Structure 1
């Protein structure tokens, strides 16, 4: 999904949380609420994987970026047949998403990429304009 396509998704929600352990629970609970609000049931086949992928990305942001990024932002977008979400932090390091599958199989990031691909989705990293942060965008078909 291109940036232009993401920009046209009609439903948007933004969650900003402190980069602490509770961020994972808050992000998961918020994701469940967003899915229900958008008409996607919690029993939809993509819901469980989406929650797991989101939790892993937020966990990584808390573990690896909290020292330079005191907050994490999760952006949700939803449209016909697609759910997109991004986890943003202000740490400049951009992990190699697809390299994780080769260099760190079984790691959280490798699992995120593998699950996303198995569901027919996409995973991309978008750097902040100033190069001092990034968002990892996940799109999943519904």
Structure 2
């Protein structure tokens, strides 16, 4: 991946209530923006990326709604990169690479297995006020 997140030309932001329907809406929006950006639904990265997105939104909906009534998904893309972040206002920042090393089959372990299998990266970025975080996933196209 050659592009830095800040230089990716395509962007879309989606804010949803932290409820079960957010997962479906985030996936549908991802499919729509990818199509608008000329990224084929059949691209081999798309299905795993949608699964990763679903897992991250599910985690926010399950674990953060008491402190974060909304979940925000940020999508970005360029010629060789697709990136997305799931943001909530819960302060807990999971250890992504620790989840991958664990032998369990939890959601974050799946996220990391898929992300690394695609040659991508995962980063947790805390909010400036330490009351929320974004989990950024970047995968090559």
How far, CA to CA, are the matches of 2:52 and 2:14 in structure 1? Answer: 16
How far, CA to CA, are the matches of 1:72 and 1:104 in structure 2? Answer: 28
Please name the residue that 2:59 is paired with: 60
How far, CA to CA, are the matches of 1:23 and 1:80 in structure 2? Answer: 28
Gapped runs of 5+ residues in structure 1? none
TM-score with structure 2 setting the length: 0.96
Please name the residue that 2:109 is paired with: 110
Give the aligned length.
141
Please name the residue that 2:9 is paired with: 10
Gapped runs of 5+ residues in structure 2? none
Deviation at 1:80, TM superposition (A): 1.2
Q: Deviating runs (4+, > 3 A) in structure 1? A: none
When the two chains are superposed, the root-mean-square deviation of aligned CA atoms in Å is 1.4
Deviation at 1:104, TM superposition (A): 5.2
Please name the residue that 1:26 is paired with: 25
TM-score with structure 1 setting the length: 0.96
